[in-house]
Amino acid sequence: MTKIYILRVVLMDFRVLFAYLLFFNLSGTYSNAQNTSDFVTVWKTDNTIPPILPQSGPNQIVLTTTGINYNIAWEELSNPANNGTAVGSGEHTLTFPTVGTYVIRISPGNGTFNNISFGQFRDAHKLVEVRQWGDIQWESISFIACTRLNITATDAPDLRNVTTLESLFYACLSLSSVPGISNWDVSKVTNMRHAFYGTLLFNEPLAGWDVGNVTDMSEMFVYAAFNQPIGSWNVSSVTNMYAMFQNTSNFNQSLGNWTLSSVQSMNQMLDASAMDCANMATTLEGWATNAGTPNNVMFDAAGIAYGLPAATALAVLRNEKNWTINIGDAVECEALDVSLISFEAKNNNGPIELEWATASESDNDFFEVERSADIRNWDTIGRIKGGGTVNSVRHYALTDLNPLEGKSYYRLKIVDLAGKAEYSHIKAVHITINSTQNVFPNPATNTITILGKMRGQVKIYDLSGREVLRTHIKTERTMIPVDNLLRGTYLIKSENGWDSKFAKD
């Protein structure tokens, strides 16, 4: 049976603490309240990940920090007498008597503790909870790839010295709630790249953030569940909004109040987002009439329709501001009387199953399922007759028997009896090629070879998300030199959606 432990960082030897407990219990004046200045986390030592990534033993955890002589203590929940303390410096490994779940309490003590980072994914899978931020004056925090992390802490982290929140919650797949996050003081932060990338459940308000000093918001919400109003943000210092909301399939908020005076890159910014016709229109209109909107910007909202009245704003941005814009069609924003309650695209081991449902329909003629490889050019792959006028739930389905290799996109075109049309949100599907058959040797020393029919640009990233190499694949067998890369684990991503990873010895 798995045992449960508490780890407590204190400022004194446990024997001294025990004497204090005994004395104050006898005198009736002792309070057993926890030390509110400690950083408190919960770790499950036997959580596992694929063996290609580094990880400690099943009764160990690795604290990844740059602190010096910081204090640690732990205590078993079911047996408080079973406890221990330690002093850590830098990356510190804790070995416990047995496998279990532990609560860690950390404080600077007579040393320093102001950073925690999982940039190399080291034991990120073992961290399951942050219970208290404490009085730590953080210099940087990054919970990259802490896929099982939940945050229950009700206090706020002290971020007065923090200038980067890059990869703050990158790929924190289980994270759904961060109490009080909208009130965090992020006023000194300049870099929010990847901050919520891949947070599939996170949708907390962030309108209270002071982002006036932020310059980099690239890929900030990619694949996140985020859909909260942030139109009040002061983004006048931001230069990089590359792919900020790409594949953020719930995001549907107007950004028309943003002043973009410093922006240089908005490539792929809203591609495959859920921005609807009305919010896209008000966004374009707001930017076109704002005196602070800069010239010569590239902006992508591929496949996103906009209201007909915004055509003038689009012309201003293109012709007067010299913007290069990739966007969907101009349509009437008046919604059809069809209540679409779901639309899903599922990979069924090859064929793609498209399923959707309506709560009610009025004068609905038909649905067309459209597919794209680039969110720019769309092909109709099937048509399904609509329900006409109905007031009950109806379910529909269509199977794409010949899907595209790699990443592709699907949407519904809903057409009424008068010929008016509107589009659903875009759904992305990734058909994965078995990476173990396509990248070798693994681990690699001097070169890797990629086998397969994929073509196009390939980028290689280290586990902090930094691009370290890029090349083009033109044949079914491509050798890539990696002798200049440092020892570690690397991610491979291609522009057609294929990805893999390898280790460098």
DSSP 170-205: TT-TT----TTGGG---TT--B-TTTTTT-TT----
Would the pLDDT of 15 be above 70?
Answer: no
CATH number at residue 408: 2.60.40.10
How confident is the model over 180-186, as a mean pLDDT? 97
273-300, pLDDT tens digit by residue?
Answer: 999 999 999 999 999 999 999 999 999 9
Better pLDDT: 440 or 168: 168
Give the burial string for 77-112 (b: 16+ CB within 10 Å, else e): eeeeebbbbbebeeebebebeeebbbbbbbbbbeeb
> In this predicted model, what pLDDT tens digit does every residue of 303-341 receive, in sequence order?
899 988 899 999 999 999 999 999 998 887 766 788 888
**pLDDT for 454-505, tens place per residue?**
677 888 988 777 888 988 887 777 889 998 888 888 888 877 667 788 888 8
Cβ burial of 232 (10 Å; 0-12, 13-18, 19+) is exposed
* Rounded Cα gap, residues 181 and 163, in angstroms: 17
**DSSP characters over 83-134:** EEEEEE-SSEEEE-SSSEEEEEEEE-TTSB--EEE-TT-TTGGGEEEEEE-T
Domain presence at residue 177? no
Token couple for 494: 């291609």
User: Are 75 and 205 in the same domain?
Assistant: no
What tens digit of pLDDT does each residue of 262-275 get?
A: 999 999 999 999 99
10-14, 122-126, 230-234, 427-431: least confident range = 10-14
Residues 235 and 152 in one domain: no
Does the residue 343 lie in any domain?
yes
Provide the 8-state DSSP code for 401.
S
Q: Is residue 84 included in any domain, yes or no?
A: yes
Residue 437 confidence (pLDDT) above 50: no
SS3 400: strand
Name the nearest CA neighbour of 288 among 327, 251, 259.
259
Q: What is the rounded CA–CA span in Å between residue 419 and residue 364?
A: 10
Task: For residue 267, give the amino acid letter.
Answer: N
Pair (281, 343) in one structural domain:
no
User: End of a domain among 431, 456, 485?
Assistant: 431
pLDDT value for 53: 61
Decide which of 282, 298, 333 is a domain's last residue: 333
Q: How many domains does the chain have?
A: 4
Domain-located, residue 17: yes
Between CA 27 and CA 93 the distance in angstroms is 39
Domain presence at residue 73: yes
For residues 370 and 380, the answer to whether their CB atoms sit within 8 Å is yes
Element (H, E) at 494: strand 488-494
Measured CA to CA, the distance from residue 403 to residue 383 in angstroms comes to 16
Alpha-carbon span 20 to 295, nearest angstrom: 67
**Which of the residue ranges 149-163, 254-268, 423-437 would you say has the lowest mean pLDDT?**
423-437
pLDDT value for 172: 95
Q: Which of 310, 333, 356 is the last residue of a domain?
A: 333
Q: How far is CA 361 from CA 384, 397, 420, in A?
A: 14, 16, 14
Look-up of token digits 């309108």 = 207
39 and 113 Cβ atoms separated by less than 8 Å: yes
pLDDT at 431: 74
Please tell me whether residues 381 and 274 are part of one structural domain: no
125 and 193 in a common domain: no
pLDDT in the model for residue 21: 33
Distance CA 167, CA 149 (A): 14
Q: Which two tokens stand for residue 108?
A: 């600077």
The residues with which 327 forms a beta bridge, in sequence order, are 301
| HSE-up of residue 471 (Cα within 13 Å, Cβ side) | 15
67-117 per-position pLDDT tens digit: 899 999 887 777 778 788 999 999 999 999 999 999 999 999 999 999 999
d(CA 314, CA 304) in angstroms, rounded, equals: 13
Which of these ranges, 2-11, 316-325, 357-366, 458-467, has the smallest mean pLDDT?
2-11
Q: Are both 327 and 186 inside the same structural domain?
A: yes
In whole angstroms, give the CA distance from residue 362 to residue 334: 14
Give the whole-angstrom CA distance, residue 59 versus residue 99.
4
Q: Which residues of 389-399 are buried (b: 16+ CB within 10 A; e: fewer)?
A: eeeeeeebebe
Task: For residues 293 and 276, state if they share a domain.
Answer: yes
Give Cβ neighbours of residue 462 (< 8 Å, ≥ 6 apart).
Answer: 468, 486, 488, 489, 490, 491
Do residues 326 and 192 both lie within one domain? yes
At 384, the pLDDT band (50, 70, 90 cuts) reads: very high
Tokens of 97: 């008597």
Q: Please count the CA atoms within 13 angstroms of the CA of 364 that sit on its side-chain side.
A: 27
Q: CATH no. for residue 451?
A: 2.60.40.3080
Q: Where are the beta strands (DSSP E) in 418-455?
A: 421-423, 427-431, 439-440, 447-451
Residues spanned by the domain of 450: 435-504
Are 393 and 431 in contact by the 8 Å Cβ rule? The answer is no
Q: Identify whether 409 is part of a domain.
A: yes
Helix, strand, or coil (residue 284): helix
